[in-house]
């Protein structure tokens, strides 16, 4: 662990959840954050997720934060606390089917695609999100929506990052008013390079990897 960086993040994120993004990190590196009290960890690949969840303590709240292939759903469901990257109905249908088989309610965040300049295609466009939520509510009783996940744009422009996170927060608040805080209580945004900006715009959960595991300053 990088104590200096960790303390700095915790200082900023006083009432905010921290998801320690542990992709590509060793069991020992992850354990070092577990040992100082962190319990929320995030992985973005199913194979790695499965190996790590089986080796690390069972009270970890595992977040799936990457593109999830439908053929991996069945395997990861028993171990996952929240799928943060739900962005399409075919995936939701598979989650629903497999969750029903094991009688487990699966927490999800709806992933938004905000930064139109980025080629990364994951996430729903803002104008698709209401229909998407209605469909999940009608067709997927084993899926429990908890909120929104979004990524900031890949840019050096602090202004642009502010703009995008502000837009995400507006959508989040609108959905909260429309669907209730039972379904919208988590706003997952903010990574190593933009977490401070995300906090200014209402993030309730940071997802940080690099800065927690590497000495390099931002």
Min. distance of Cβ 177 from ligand PLP in angstroms? 26
Site for ligand PLP in 64-103 (CB under 6 A): 65-66
Q: Hey, CA dihedral for 159, 161, 164, 169, is it positive or negative?
A: negative
What token pair was written down for 81? 């606390």
Q: Segment contacting ligand PLP (CB under 6 A): 26-34, 164-172, 178-186, 207-215?
A: 207-215
State yes or no: residue 21 binds ligand PLP (CB under 6 A).
yes
**Rounded least distance, CB 176 to ligand PLP, Å:** 22
Nearer to ligand PLP, 82 or 208 (CB): 208
Name the one range near ligand PLP by CB under 6 A: 72-80, 152-160, 177-185, 201-209.
201-209
Give the interface size with ligand PLP as a residue count (CB under 6 A): 12
User: Long-range contacts of range 153-157, CB-CB < 8 Å, 24 or more positions apart?
Assistant: 153/114, 153/115, 153/117, 153/118, 154/115, 154/117, 154/118, 155/115, 155/117
Task: Say how far apart CA 139 and CA 93 lie, in whole Å.
Answer: 8
208 touches ligand PLP (CB under 6 A): yes
Binding ligand PLP (rule: CB under 6 A), the pick from 191, 196, 200, 202 is 191
Count Cβ atoms within 10 A of the Cβ of residue 176 and give its class: 0-12 exposed, 13-18 middle, 19 or more buried. Answer: middle
Among the listed ranges 33-41, 133-141, 176-184, 203-211, the one in contact with ligand PLP (CB under 6 A) is: 203-211
User: Considering the rule CB under 6 A, would residue 207 count as an interface residue with ligand PLP?
Assistant: yes
Q: Map the footprint of ligand PLP across residues 22-41, applying CB under 6 A.
A: 23
Comparing CB distances to ligand PLP, the nearer of 34 and 213 is 213
- Rounded distance, CA 46 to CA 68, Å? 7
């Amino acid at each position: 662990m990088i104590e200096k960086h960790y303390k700095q993040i915790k200082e900023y994120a006083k009432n905010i959840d921290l998801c320690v993004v542990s992709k590509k990190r060793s069991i020992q590196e992850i354990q070092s954050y577990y040992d100082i009290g962190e319990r929320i960890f995030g992985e973005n690949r199913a194979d790695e997720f499965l190996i790590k969840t089986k080796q690390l303590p069972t009270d970890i709240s595992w977040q799936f934060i990457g593109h999830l292939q439908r053929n991996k759903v069945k395997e990861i469901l028993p171990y996952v606390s929240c799928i943060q990257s739900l962005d399409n109905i075919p995936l939701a249908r598979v989650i629903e089917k497999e969750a029903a088989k094991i009688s487990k309610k699966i927490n999800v965040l709806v992933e938004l695609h905000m930064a139109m300049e980025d080629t990364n295609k994951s996430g729903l466009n803002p104008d698709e999100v209401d229909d998407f939520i209605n469909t999940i509510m009608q067709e997927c009783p084993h899926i429990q929506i908890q909120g929104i996940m979004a990524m900031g744009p890949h840019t050096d422009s602090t202004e642009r990052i502010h703009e995008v996170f502000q837009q995400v927060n507006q959508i989040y608040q609108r959905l909260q008013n429309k669907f209730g805080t039972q379904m919208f209580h988590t706003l997952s945004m903010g990574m190593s390079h933009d977490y401070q900006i995300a906090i200014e715009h209402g993030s309730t959960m940071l997802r940080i990897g690099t800065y927690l595991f590497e000495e390099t300053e931002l």
